[in-house]
């Protein structure tokens, strides 16, 4: 036997019920396709807001431009979140993408599992919340002025919710680290979904 070409792993046939249960993961496919459509909607929204920014660049003051740019950043961050969910979720829960030798394979995909995906998603949500909160703080300069939708109570609640997101992300990260720490005696990390 040649050591350079090991035999392919033997595929074990499953009984009908386990086969159906295992195949049920493909029911998630329409969900990921739907997220791809949502990504297209976000691209359209980004282009629409960018058009408004370019069209009115000479008419807007600094605050209006800043709010539009923060809106663009918000759309990009949500789009990044969608990519993580689509690619990472498909790879983790449905099927392998087989991108080992693809030059554009994202670095984070090589070590993604459900724990890593949860932490990355939590961090992306914090980033999105940060942009939204920053936008509210910029708008807060005009509190009480006609046509303003930002209120002091609204900013307070956004700050509280943002703080809860941060605490949740810290909790998720801590649980992931504890669950992947080697157990005494065997030296092997344990991963929980």
pLDDT tens figures, 53-100: 999 989 988 888 888 888 899 899 889 889 888 988 888 888 888 777
Would you give the DSSP letter of residue 15? P
Find, among 85, 46, 37, 63, the residue nearest to 136 by Cα.
63
pLDDT tens figures, 131-158: 888 878 777 766 555 555 667 777 788 8
Q: Are 79 and 39 in contact (CB under 8 A)?
A: yes
For the chain, percent of residues with pLDDT exceeding 90: 15
Q: Are 25 and 89 in contact (CB under 8 A)?
A: no
Would you give the DSSP letter of residue 8? P
Q: How confident is the model at residue 5 (pLDDT cuts 50, 70, 90)?
A: low
Q: Which two tokens stand for residue 8?
A: 């392919």
Q: Which residue has the tokens 């961050």?
A: 77
136 alpha-carbon distance from chain centroid: 22
Q: Is the pLDDT of residue 178 over 70?
A: yes
pTM score, two decimals? 0.66
Q: Are 136 and 161 in contact (CB under 8 A)?
A: no
d(CA 29, CA 95): 10
Q: Are 78 and 56 in contact (CB under 8 A)?
A: no
């Amino acid at each position: 036997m040649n050591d350079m070409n090991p035999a392919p792993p033997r595929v074990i046939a499953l009984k009908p019920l386990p086969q159906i249960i295992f195949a049920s993961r493909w029911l998630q496919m329409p969900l990921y396709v739907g997220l791809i459509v949502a990504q297209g909607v976000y691209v359209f929204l980004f282009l629409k807001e960018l058009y408004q920014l370019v069209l009115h660049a000479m008419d807007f003051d600094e605050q209006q431009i800043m709010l539009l740019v923060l809106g663009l950043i918000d759309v990009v961050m949500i789009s990044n979140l969608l990519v993580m969910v689509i690619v990472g979720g498909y790879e983790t829960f449905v099927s392998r993408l087989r991108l080992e030798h693809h030059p554009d394979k994202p670095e984070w995909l090589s070590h993604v599992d459900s724990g890593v995906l949860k932490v990355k998603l939590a961090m992306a949500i914090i980033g999105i919340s940060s942009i939204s909160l920053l936008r509210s703080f910029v708008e807060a300069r005009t509190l009480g002025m006609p046509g303003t939708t930002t209120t002091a109570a609204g900013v307070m609640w956004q700050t509280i919710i943002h703080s809860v997101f941060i605490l949740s992300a810290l909790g998720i990260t801590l649980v992931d680290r504890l669950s992947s720490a080697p157990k005494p005696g065997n030296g092997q990390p344990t991963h929980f979904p």
